[in-house]
Amino acid sequence: MSSPDITYLEREAVAAVMQTSRLSMGPEVEAFEAAVSRYVGIKHAIAVSSGTAGLHLAVRALGITDGDWVITTPFSFAASTNVLLYERAIPVFVDVDPDTGNINTDLMAAAAADLIAGGKKASRWLPRQGKEPTGILRALLPVDVFGQAADYDSIQAISAEHDLRVIEDSCEALGAQYKGRQAGTLGDIGVFAFYPNKQITTAEGAMVVTDRDDVAELIRALRNQGRAPGDKWLDHTHLGYNYRLDEMSAALGRVQMSRLDELLQKRERVAAWYEDRLAEIPGVELLHITPTTSRMSWFVFVVRLEDGIDRKRVAEQLDEQGIPTRPYFTPIHLQRYMTDRFEYQPGDYPVTEDLSRRNLALPFSGILSETQVERVCDCLRRALES
């Protein structure tokens, strides 16, 4: 489905760390953090062991806890919701924009007003199980889906009106720009992830970014077993975690950051090949890039099959040709642990479910050749014709 783009530069940097005795908490993590904060233009960048860990620390750092409501999207990778459940907060889903798959900010605004009004109005937005309107709306957690930022002018207006914090799940959007502003910097806290299918990789790893000094200090402490500044190795001011990134991974990330523009350009070129060839294939819709996206940071290449096309059959036919595909995403509210706990049902978030039914992610990475893209498109065309 995807493939990291690793050169001798990365291999040498990782090997160099292994010549030293500093395998954790050393200069590579600091250099990697500095590279990310410089690139996105933000005060603090804190390297962590995964995107999920980073989002969890964001939730902890903002004090989101038992029964708090957080408005988020069901059209995402499960981690963006799971980190709320870890702290016993209640994710309040609103549906997404059909063009981009990003959270629908009109619905977000309506939900925020109703949740704050409380009572029956609030109940409308809550899951069947957990309807007691006793929570407090604390935050918004939009996701920048597929490398395109959500509508942050609207999100910032909602957050300002109701004094809500914003966690930006930018795990799929390093390098993307919203009206010229960097994705990840548009809320109180942003998170970029570096699993091997992302725009850059550290194998496992992620970066939390924020301009807020208090939040950065707390996240650094929580990442490192709760050690506050001044704590000795066996002192723990906070209930913390081991969410640190090791030096080898950080060295890999530092070199990948130095190549970020090259990596994004290569991904852009592959996406353009796909767009060219798929434009002529009936039954295939391409991802809509909204005017607010001044830079798309291609994460996956997802096509939307026209209503009535049997996606499973198309996927199987591609698979027989050795071409893997994925149905991006399975709605979070319909995952087994979510229906068990909150009693969600099919039909609760129709736009999300429609996208989930029709979306198909094609093989995508910056190192695909034009010939490979052509072959995928030919096979897709044939599968659709048969």
Ligand X SMILES: *Cc1c(COP(=O)(O)O)cnc(C)c1O
Q: Which residues bind ligand X (CB under 6 A)?
A: 50-52, 76-77, 79-80, 143, 169, 171-172, 193, 195, 206
CB atoms within 10 A of CB 317: 18
- Helices in the chain by DSSP H: which ranges? 8-18, 27-40, 51-61, 79-86, 105-117, 119-123, 152-162, 213-223, 247-258, 260-278, 311-320, 336-342, 350-358, 370-385
> In whole angstroms, how close is the CB of 297 to ligand X at the nearest point?
12
> In whole angstroms, how close is the CB of 239 to ligand X at the nearest point?
21
Compute the chain's Rg from CA coordinates.
21
Nearer to ligand X, 114 or 188 (CB): 188
User: At a CB cut-off of 8 Å and minimum separation 6, what does 73 contact?
Assistant: 80, 93, 94, 95, 96, 102, 103, 141, 142, 143, 145, 352
- Write the CA distances from 336 to 34, 52, 294, integer angstroms: 40, 19, 37
Nearer to ligand X, 143 or 287 (CB): 143
> In whole angstroms, how close is the CB of 193 to ligand X at the nearest point?
4
> In whole angstroms, how close is the CB of 172 to ligand X at the nearest point?
4
Q: 């068990």: which residue's tokens?
A: 340
Nearer to ligand X, 79 or 107 (CB): 79
Nearer to ligand X, 283 or 327 (CB): 327
> In whole angstroms, how close is the CB of 206 to ligand X at the nearest point?
5
Residue 53 three-state SS: helix
> In whole angstroms, how close is the CB of 100 to ligand X at the nearest point?
14
CA distance 57 to 195: 18
CA distance 248 to 262: 22
> In whole angstroms, how close is the CB of 204 to ligand X at the nearest point?
7
Structural contact between residues 156 and 193, judged by C-beta atoms closer than 8 angstroms:
no
Nearer to ligand X, 115 or 193 (CB): 193
Nearer to ligand X, 2 or 225 (CB): 2
Nearer to ligand X, 77 or 274 (CB): 77
DSSP annotation of 226 reads T
Per the structure block, which two tokens stand in for 109?
Answer: 């605004």
The residue sitting closest to ligand X, measured at its beta carbon, is: 51
> In whole angstroms, how close is the CB of 122 to ligand X at the nearest point?
26
Nearer to ligand X, 37 or 102 (CB): 102
CA distance 74 to 56: 17
CA distance 14 to 16: 5
CB atoms within 10 A of CB 297: 26
